[in-house]
């Protein structure tokens, strides 16, 4: 079972209490970040999401909505991966190109799994696998439920795309350059994936990232 909590609207004290309850009762705690943009979107006031993500790690939670880089949610790759590593890694070296201004040693504090979600579909799968790696959660909502044949074929299409991308990566193929070809090859033997590819082929999100260094 999974409980979802908005850690900013609910507050850190409530979140920590809920995190302890979930650990004691064998529940997963998924953290949503509703209202974060009010705090972190403007460059001249508030605080950056990497600070909020670090606060969440200290407060408690199993996975946190972290943006997608390639979906509908604004987010520059280097900055996004900077706070993703601060969420899940035990030791993170300073790297100003990713917005990490000092080395962070989390010692034994548990990490938080990043969740990529928001406007993603099968054509995004190569980039998601290449960007986020193995220790991540890829959450397809409309990219599953919007499949023309229904929910189960939508889930099948996503799974086939994921497995194809992982196999291609493990074989040494460059997903950044060959990703679309990997998806097309898999679609030849998966009618569910072929239908999803046809549906989502014209869907693009084009905007410039506000959060830049």
Give residue 192's domain range.
Answer: 119-132+140-203
pLDDT band for position 162 (cuts 50, 70, 90): very high
Q: Is residue 212 part of a domain?
A: no
Give residue-wise pLDDT tens across range 167-190. Answer: 999 999 999 999 999 999 999 999
One domain for residues 113 and 175: no
Q: What angle do CA 51, 211, 43 make, to 5 degrees?
A: 75
- Cα distance between residue 64 and residue 28, in whole Å: 11
pLDDT at 53 over 60: yes
Domain count, the chain: 2
Residue 115 pairs in a beta bridge with: 65, 137
Tokens of 194: 């072929």
Give residue-wise pLDDT tens across range 60-85. Answer: 999 998 878 887 666 788 888 898 99
One domain for residues 40 and 114: yes
* Residue-level pLDDT at 183: 97
* Residue-level pLDDT at 136: 87
One domain for residues 9 and 75: yes
One domain for residues 112 and 123: no
* Residue-level pLDDT at 43: 73
**3-state class of 67 per DSSP?**
coil
> What average pLDDT score do residues 121-133 get?
92
Residue 205: alpha-carbon gap to chain centroid? 16
Q: Is residue 112 part of a domain?
A: yes
* Residue-level pLDDT at 172: 96
pLDDT at 207 over 60: no
Packing angle of the helix pair 77-88, 49-59 (nearest 10 deg): 10
Which of the listed residues 87, 118, 149 is the one where a domain comes to its end? 118
Q: Is residue 44 part of a domain?
A: yes
Quickly tell me which residue has 């590819």 as its tokens: 197
- Cα distance between residue 143 and residue 128, in whole Å: 14
Which of 156, 13, 46, 49 has the alpha carbon at shortest distance from 164? 156
CATH classification at residue 67: 3.20.20.110
Its pTM stands at 0.84
Per mean pLDDT, which range of 49-58, 65-74, 104-113, 191-200 is the poorest?
A: 65-74
Burial class (CB in 10 A: 0-12, 13-18, 19+), 38: exposed
Q: Is residue 210 part of a domain?
A: no
One domain for residues 6 and 108: yes
């Amino acid at each position: 079972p999974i409980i979802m909590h908005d850690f900013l609207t609910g507050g850190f004290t409530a979140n920590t209490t809920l995190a302890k309850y979930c650990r004691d009762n064998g529940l997963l705690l998924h953290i949503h970040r509703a209202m974060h943009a009010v705090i972190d979107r403007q460059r001249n006031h508030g605080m950056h999401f990497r600070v909020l993500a670090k606060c969440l790690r200290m407060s408690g939670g199993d996975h946190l909505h972290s943006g997608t880089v390639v979906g509908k949610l604004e987010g520059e790759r280097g900055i996004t991966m900077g706070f993703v590593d601060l969420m899940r890694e035990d030791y993170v070296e300073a790297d100003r190109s990713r917005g990490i201004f000092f080395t962070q040693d989390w010692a034994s504090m548990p990490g938080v799994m990043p969740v990529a979600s928001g406007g993603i579909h099968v054509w995004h799968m190569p980039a998601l696998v290449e960007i986020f790696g193995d220790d991540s959660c890829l959450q397809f909502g409309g990219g599953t439920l919007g499949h023309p044949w229904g929910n189960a074929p939508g889930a099948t299409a996503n799974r086939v795309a994921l497995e194809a991308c992982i196999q291609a990566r493990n074989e040494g193929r460059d997903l950044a350059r060959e990703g679309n070809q990997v998806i097309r090859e898999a679609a030849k033997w998966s009618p569910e994936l072929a239908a999803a590819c046809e549906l989502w082929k014209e869907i693009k999100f084009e905007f410039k990232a506000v959060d830049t260094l």
